[in-house]
Structure 1
Amino acid sequence: MDLNETLLPLAGIIVATVMLGVSLKLKQKKSIKKRNPPRKWFSRRESQGLGILKMVNEEFTLEDADSFKNFFRMSKEKFDFLLNLIEKDIERAELPMQNTISAKHGLEITLRFLATGESFRSLMFSTRVHESSISRFVPEVCRAIHKQLRINHLEMPSTTEEWMWISEGFNNLWQFPHCLGALDGRHITFRAPKSEGSYYHNYKGSDSIVLLALVDARYRFIYVNLGCNGRISDGGVFRNSKLSEILQKNSANLPKDQALPGRSKAIPFVVVADDAFPSKTNLMKPFPMRGLSLQHRRFNYRLSRARRVVENAFGILANRFRVLLNPISLNVEKVEAICLACVCFHNYLLEDILTENRGCGDITDIPRIGNQAGNRSSSDARAVREELSEYFSAPEGQVDWQDEQIKSFNS
């Protein structure tokens, strides 16, 4: 066989292989997006500072303490204490750009995000930190905040003395005795991924998770349950919560049943809530609004007056940390971290006020109470509600303005 006839097919295979390789490389080049050159104003971060944060640190800190507090929602002293508290956790989290963005600046940007709810892109333009970096370190900083602050600022009472102090607060400030807290839920809206379908869809037509909270008389959160999808009602979230178990089993040293002032019948200490929650001996909700007697209207007014504390607390929380006012464009895990950080911050900022105004006295003569009886029937719950309603109409329990308020509601 001629040598040319042998080599000719082999040469054709080689040429075809080379052409295929060239074609694939051309396709790869076409598929790769051309990267934009780095923006020059990012590189000036070292020489000119982090935009608005430079002004805050060089001018607000020295000249205008009120503006610093408004910008970060806390004083310089509280900021420094918090930074010292979480700095090691932030460093261990190996945040992006940690060589150029310090823990201090990471905390500053996170606080500004929580305070305003600005988009990460908006923060990028005001701080010279890329939005992709901000989106990664903000949740990590929030987790560090929750980890450190929850220990002293989001602990549920565990002694009878602590519960009694809460009860004294409701009696002195809101004229509702035997009250251990106001309970309600709030929807935290976010943009759920399409893969979740309607799992987080609530009755308002948005995607949300539920923040169930128990609040004391001074707007302080003493228990939160976060993460249930928005399809579940407040009562359903409560039913599956640790708080429900505690109230059923009396497993947190709740105070022993006592009679109201001037009365002889001993009743349990209660949590106040709205119609969305079940009626229990230690969970009070209003009488149905049909055909109410004057006595029952008085009870509903007094209960509403105590219960609105939790609604006020939600309002203060959302207006202080405005990130909660609009849908958060992050996944549910990051939304939870942000919300828990806001709750801890809320209590952290209330600390000085509560220290100065803790005027209910120290309660030291009440013994610890172990586990008591579990659930009682709905008839017992109605009996407790009737006892409270009778007390609010009796001379020892009524307040001067309640009937005027009831008339204004009905007019």
Structure 2
Amino acid sequence: MRRTVYTADHEAFRESVREFVAREVEPHAARFAEERLIGPPVWRAAGRLGLLGLEIPEEYGGGAAGDYRFNAVLHEELAAHGMALASGFGIHFDIVAPYLVDLTTEEQKKRWLPGFCSGELVTAIGMTEPGGGSDLAALTTTAVRDGDDWVLNGSKTFITNGVQAGLVVVAARTGPGKKGITLFGVEAGMPGFERGRKLDKMGQPEADTAELFFRDVRVPAANVIGPVDGGFVAMMERLPQERLGAAVANLAHAWSALAETLAYVRERRAFGQPVGSFQYNKFTLAGLVTELEVTRAYVDQCVAAHAARELSAVEAAKAKLWSSEVQWRVLDACVQLFGGYGYMREHRVARAWADARVTRIWAGSSEIMREIIGRDLGL
């Protein structure tokens, strides 16, 4: 089905992103996976092309696109290569960016945004803690005011870009309940701010993921992001964009794997004929393509709604929930259709299968998405 959400400008941007991936990422993909890191040269290359500052005003080095559809195109093309690429860069350009644009002071913008756009300053967001992720209101990292500073204590885990981030937006408790959470900009080099080990995940090895520790970290008042005790509301307001970005990436990742699988089953022969021509396999693939196309129609509508600032939290939850479930069904079927080769990590479909498992967990688990949708039904 012809897609109508994107214009010629978006498609021209898509081509530039594809060229970036082909030039800067694909030749080094094996090394990135081995090192468990997409290093500074790639970030700076992305910065030179203007990929990192789509939401950033021009006076700070950004592109000021003013159109979420460019974010969605970038998500699609990065995820078509691999979920790790979309994850690491997406945290930066799509998740952290709104906090830094909407909530920071003029001084903070001048200090952080130019490096954010150039790729010199990689960012991360610290919400999830060892004791829980989805229940943000229950976080235990604390910040206590001491003169003009705040003293931060606690830890975060599963933090994408945590190894190399020069700036982490950290949610910490400054009072009781949901109203007692504040956001802080914690910068690399602050005494007491330490990074733990680079976590060894079952998938997405290229996306560096780390534990972060804060031991009496003195954060100046000039690094408070947004109003004191306003962090919970700020996070809730921005989670729909995070979940929509996840949905866009989920689908692009699944489409890419399915395209490779279709090419494989047309060529691979068994019992004298292509394995894709067997009725069961043919029907399986027909069902997968249909699921992806129908899901994409809904997600495209969500992208258009968000570009018009009309997307609801419930609609974003539906997109995130369903796209991750469809992605998993597609990739699991792709592995099956590849047979034994699908189990070998040298084949991209095996890596894609492992990479996709977390998409039903992060940005709000499938169970939490169902809870949000169920509440909207009055249940």
What interval of TM-score do these two structures reach, taking the shorter chain for normalisation? Answer: under 0.3
Larger Cα Rg: Structure 1 or Structure 2? Answer: 1
TM-score by length of structure 2 reads: 0.22
